[in-house]
């Protein structure tokens, strides 16, 4: 037996194991990844992520990429082509939940349930550079997330970085009882509680019931995201965008809470939306103006 070769082999294996453990932890310890994981856990605790419901993507900053680059795989995955081409996110890196992953498991095994992918210069293919350690791939909604990242980037001068899809119960229920147009839904939400218009001055967009993960839903959502930072998917859930994890989670939470209050008020009022008291349109304007915000006039009387 060649003792020297065997000792070298053991050393190499040990080094690889340590490097693997350290590299996983190092990406997980980055502030953006801590925020990513926290949002997944918080969404689970809200009850918005039954089974593998929901998904999350984050467009990394140049500093995020610099901090993570030493821990990227020495050999990135193969390029995988997409049916969509989003030129303005070409060359960007995204953290994304894995297709089929459960939000409740993300905190237990980040590298198994989350990956970092690089998008090629043309914006029509991706490859894994970190994570998906059990052989996963980006969320099934990745092409629609990418299309929407492109749109939100443009609409916000680059500020928008987070896209979050969840299945909040109250929002889904609301789409069963309010006419499915953006004005009616927005007014029900705005008038539920004074805080709603503060986080949602443009209101919400709405798409009718469509096949989850399909190209039609992707196209409709990204089109509406030119105007709105939140889009209700009838009978399905909600899609929110924001500059960071707090703002995006806060938007999802605020909209679900307003939908909940609307539902409670309907139940207390015997099912009628003719409430004894509510927030007037002038009150809504005054609330928005108090924060220097311009409410969407198309949705006010
Ligand atoms: O990721 O929620 O809409 C699973 C879904 C699809
Ligand atoms: Zn969904």
Tens-digit pLDDT profile for residues 147-173: 999 999 999 999 999 999 999 999 999
Q: Whose CA is nearest to atom 1 of ligand 1?
A: 54
Please determine, for residue 11, whether its predicted confidence score (pLDDT) is greater than 80: no
Residue 235 Cβ contacting ligand 1 at under 6 Å: no
Indicate the pLDDT class of residue 15, thresholds 50, 70 and 90: low
Please determine, for residue 258, whether its predicted confidence score (pLDDT) is greater than 90: yes
- Over residues 248-275, the mean pLDDT reads 98
pLDDT digits (tens, 9 = 90+) for 36-47: 999 999 999 999
Please confirm, yes or no, whether 141 is among the known catalytic residues: yes
Domains of the chain: 3-162 (3.40.225.10), 169-299 (3.40.225.10)
| SS3 per-residue string spanning the chain | CCHHHHHHHHHHHHHHHHHHHHHHHHHHCCHHHHHHHHHHHHHHHCCCCCCCCCEEEEECCHHHHHHHHHHCCCCCCCCEECCCCCHHHCCCEEEEEECCCCHHHHCCCHHHHEEEEEECCCCCEEEEEEECCCCCCECCCHHHHHHHHHHHHHHCCCCCCEEEEECCHHHHHHHHHCCCCHHHHHHHHHCCCCCHHHHCCCCCEEECCCCCCCHHHHHHHHHHCCCCCEEEECCCEEEEEECCHHHHHHHHHHHHHHHHHHHHHHHHCCCCCCCCCCCCHHHHHHHHHHCCCCCCHHHCC
Non-local CB neighbours of 81 within 8 Å, separated by 6+ positions: 124, 125
Is 161 within 8 Å of 59 (Cβ atoms)? yes
Ligand 1: distance of its center to the CA of 20 in Å?
A: 30
pLDDT at 265: 98
- Over residues 4-15, the mean pLDDT reads 69
- Over residues 132-143, the mean pLDDT reads 91
How far apart, in whole angstroms, are the C-alpha atoms of residue 31 and residue 75?
Answer: 25
How far apart, in whole angstroms, are the C-alpha atoms of residue 40 and residue 131?
Answer: 16
Ligand 1: distance of its center to the CA of 241 in Å?
A: 16
Residue 212 Cβ contacting ligand 1 at under 6 Å: yes
pLDDT at 185: 98
Pocket test for ligand 1, best of 43, 44, 55 (most atoms within 8 A of CB): 55
Model pTM score: 0.91
Which ligand is closest in space to the CA of residue 235?
2
Which ligand 1 atom is at minimum distance from the Cα of 236?
A: 3
Please determine, for residue 215, whether its predicted confidence score (pLDDT) is greater than 90: no
pLDDT at 2: 56
277 burial level (CB within 10 Å; 0-12, 13-18, 19+): exposed
How far apart, in whole angstroms, are the C-alpha atoms of residue 2 and residue 212?
Answer: 58
Indicate the pLDDT class of residue 7, thresholds 50, 70 and 90: confident
Beta bridge partners of 95: 58, 116
Q: Whose CA is nearest to atom 4 of ligand 1?
A: 53
Please determine, for residue 23, whether its predicted confidence score (pLDDT) is greater than 60: no
Handedness of CA 228, 233, 238, 244 (dihedral sign): negative
Ligand 2: distance of its center to the CA of 301 in Å?
A: 33
Please determine, for residue 22, whether its predicted confidence score (pLDDT) is greater than 70: no
- Over residues 116-139, the mean pLDDT reads 96
Ligand 1: distance of its center to the CA of 261 in Å?
A: 25
Non-local CB neighbours of 134 within 8 Å, separated by 6+ positions: 112
């Amino acid at each position: 037996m060649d003792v020297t070769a065997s000792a070298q082999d053991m050393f190499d294996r040990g080094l690889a194991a340590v490097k693997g453990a350290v590299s996983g932890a190092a990406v997980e310890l980055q502030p953006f990844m801590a925020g990513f994981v926290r949002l997944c856990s918080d969404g689970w605790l809200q009850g918005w992520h039954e089974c593998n419901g929901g998904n999350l993507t984050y467009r990394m900053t140049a500093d995020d990429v610099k901090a993570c680059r030493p821990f990227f795989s020495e050999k990135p995955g193969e390029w995988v082509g997409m049916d969509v081409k989003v030129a303005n996110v070409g060359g960007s890196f995204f953290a994304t939940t894995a297709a089929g992953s459960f939000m409740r498991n993300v905190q237990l095994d980040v590298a198994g349930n989350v990956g970092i992918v690089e998008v090629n210069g043309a914006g029509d293919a991706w490859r894994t550079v970190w994570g998906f350690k059990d052989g996963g791939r980006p969320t099934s909604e990745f092409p629609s997330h990418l299309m929407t990242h492109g749109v939100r980037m443009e609409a916000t001068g680059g500020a928008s970085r987070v896209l979050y899809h969840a299945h909040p119960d109250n929002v889904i229920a609301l789409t069963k009882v309010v006419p499915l147009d953006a004005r009616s839904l927005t007014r029900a939400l705005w008038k539920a509680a004074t805080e709603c218009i503060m986080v949602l001055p443009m209101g919400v967009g709405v798409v009718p019931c469509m096949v989850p993960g399909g190209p039609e839903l992707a196209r409709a959502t990204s089109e509406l995201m030119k105007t709105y930072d939140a889009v209700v998917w009838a009978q399905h859930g909600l899609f929110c965008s924001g500059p960071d994890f707090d703002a995006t989670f806060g938007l999802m939470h605020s909209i679900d809470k307003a939908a909940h209050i609307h539902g409670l008020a309907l139940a207390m009022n015997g099912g009628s939306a003719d409430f004894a008291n509510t927030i007037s349109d002038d009150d809504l304007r005054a609330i928005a103006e108090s924060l220097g915000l311009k409410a969407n006039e198309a949705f006010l009387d």
